[in-house]
Amino acid sequence: MLKQRLQQKLLQKLSPQQIQVIKLLEIPTMLLEQRIKKELEENPILEEGENQNLDAEPDSNDSDDDVNSNDDEFTLEDYMNEEDVPSYRLNSNNTSKDDKREDIPFSVGVTFHEHLENQLGMLPLSEKEKQLALYLIGNIDEDGYLRRKLNAITDDVAFALGLEVTEDELENVLYIIQELEPPGVGARDLQECLLLQLRAKEKSTNSAAIAYKILKYQFEEFTRKHYDKIASKLGLSDDDLRDSINEILKLNPKPGGGFSDPYNQSGQQIMPDFILEYIDGDFQLSLNSRNVPDLRISREYSEMLENYSYNKDSASRQEKDAMTFVRQKIESAKWFIDALKQRQNTLLATMESIIEYQKDFFKDGDETKLRPMILKDIADKTGLDISTISRVANSKYIQTHFGIYALKYFFSEGMQTDSGEEVSTKEIKKILQECVDNEQKRKPLTDEQLMAILQEKGYPIARRTVAKYREQLGIPVARLRKELK
């Protein structure tokens, strides 16, 4: 049975302005320029230029009372009686107008797969072999491996090329591909990839020949670094084993990944969002707005709106619709500029609090001086929400006189030493890294031994915590750190 009833609910909804601020807060400086350019393209009211106050208000002596009438669908004062554009470039201009940021063009070359296909043209292949070779090359991934099974490819060849082919025929064509450059291409697993590279060297040296035997017959032991077992089974001396292992370590496990592909620029470019200078004992923080343009509301459209306010009684329906569009775009432009201003204010407030909290570290960059700091600490100092601090810290960087750091780097948990002093986990990780760097590579330190060393230094830490910190530092277990010296 259907019933009607009244119900009150307290809901929290974000306004469009708040959503816009949140989105702008998340993006770094490098993407902010693109976001502003997109807004400039979509909103004709916005334009680049120095901020100016527009004298758009009508004369106070004007007799037209309709200009400020509250009964009208909108008034000119709603849009033009404030300062034209609030400044959001809240930092000193540390660049000159002659500065330019230009991307250096790179020459266009061939891709990895085109490189392989070009080599096929120099081989005496039948038409069927050429078709099969091209199809196999298309299935090779960017690392240079053929990950798919040949029996599955035979079915695809039948459907795609209309060719009946056996698995043996495909394997023979694959052997041809494996003779191409770079060595190791077309391998189906890591073992085959390394063997192909050693075969290309023709095992010209004794160490290369021994390395081939190790990979061929003792690959499992090699991956587990059981060097004693390998030496025992193959009857190798320490010198021969060391030379052969070094020969293997020179091989490329990803032959395709080393190919220079002009379409893939793997290097990540970092543009710092903040610039911090330490001059005469004082910190000078500024926002990096190098390529971020100043925005203002177009004078042309503001004058159009002003003229309409004086002649709206005689305006046609089309002109009213046009002015409604202008009003909406002016409103959107003001929201966007206000959101930029709020973004810059929030970024500066957050970074200033971080610097104040980690003042000792920012003086000389000594990691041991980092204090334990979590998002809540900065949220309490700035009066902002924890989620806002998290958005600011995400993907933002600061340039200091001792390097560029991600803001996430400064946040860490803390623990108390035996003496009751609170230290950051960064300090513990640094000591852990130093212990691993200085260990004997023939007998790497286990997690239990690392735990004992840290406890001797006054850090009461469990073995599982050592393992967690070791993994966060990208340090493998002791067995995999073993080396022959």
pLDDT of residue 58: 37
User: What is the CATH number that goes with domain 414-485?
Assistant: 1.10.10.60
Q: 98 in helix, strand or coil?
A: coil
Q: What is the DSSP letter of 381?
A: H
CA pair distance 289, 282, nearest whole angstrom: 22
Triad 422, 427, 428: Cα angle to 5°:
90
Of 406, 353, 351, 403, the residue nearest 377 (C-alpha): 353
187-214: pLDDT as tens digits: 999 999 999 998 877 666 788 888 889 9
pLDDT of residue 202: 67
pLDDT of residue 91: 44
pLDDT of residue 420: 66
CA pair distance 285, 277, nearest whole angstrom: 7
Tokens of 50: 């120095």
Distance of CA 221 to the CA centre of its chain: 37
Of 199, 196, 198, 193, the residue nearest 247 (C-alpha): 198
pLDDT of residue 356: 92
Q: Where are the alpha helices (DSSP H) in 64-205?
A: 77-80, 112-120, 127-138, 150-160, 167-177, 190-200
CA pair distance 5, 27, nearest whole angstrom: 45
Query: Which burial class, exposed, middle or buried, applies to 173 when counting CB atoms under 10 A from its CB (0-12, 13-18, 19+)?
Result: buried
Ramachandran assignment for 311, one of left (phi > 0), alpha (psi -120 to 50 degrees), beta (any other)? alpha
Which parts of the chain sit beneath pLDDT 70?
A: 1, 11-17, 49-109, 202-204, 258-268, 290-291, 309-310, 312-315, 419-421, 484-485
CA pair distance 18, 224, nearest whole angstrom: 54
Q: What is the DSSP letter of 354?
A: H
- Contact present, 17 and 338 (Cβ < 8 Å): yes
Q: How many CB atoms lie within 10 A of CB 449?
A: 16
Q: Where do the domains of the chain lie?
A: 14-60+80-92+268-412, 112-249, 414-485
- CA–CA distance from 338 to each of 21, 28, 225, 459 (Å)? 9, 18, 60, 49
- Contact present, 109 and 150 (Cβ < 8 Å): no
pLDDT of residue 395: 82
Triad 8, 12, 16: Cα angle to 5°:
130
Q: 77 in helix, strand or coil?
A: helix
Ramachandran assignment for 418, one of left (phi > 0), alpha (psi -120 to 50 degrees), beta (any other)? alpha
Q: How many CB atoms lie within 10 A of CB 450?
A: 24
Of 38, 24, 83, 58, the residue nearest 297 (C-alpha): 83
**CB-based contacts of 145, cutoff 8 Å, min separation 6:** 186, 187, 188, 189, 193, 256
336-387: pLDDT as tens digits: 888 888 888 999 999 999 999 999 889 888 887 888 888 888 999 999 888 8
CA pair distance 21, 338, nearest whole angstrom: 9
Give me the residue label for tokens 């009833």. Answer: 5
Tokens of 422: 């609170």
Tokens of 275: 């610039």
pLDDT of residue 65: 40
Q: 371-393: b or e for each residue (b if 16 or more CB lie within 10 Å)?
A: bbbebebbbebbebeeebbbbbb
**CB-based contacts of 304, cutoff 8 Å, min separation 6:** 323, 326
Which pTM value belongs to this model?
Answer: 0.56
Answer positive or negative: Cα dihedral of 261, 264, 266, 271: positive
**CB-based contacts of 310, cutoff 8 Å, min separation 6:** 58, 64, 67
Tokens of 411: 């946040």
Query: For helices 317-357 and 16-26, what crossing angle results, to 10°?
Result: 50
CA pair distance 346, 379, nearest whole angstrom: 11
pLDDT of residue 341: 87
Answer positive or negative: Cα dihedral of 382, 388, 390, 396: negative
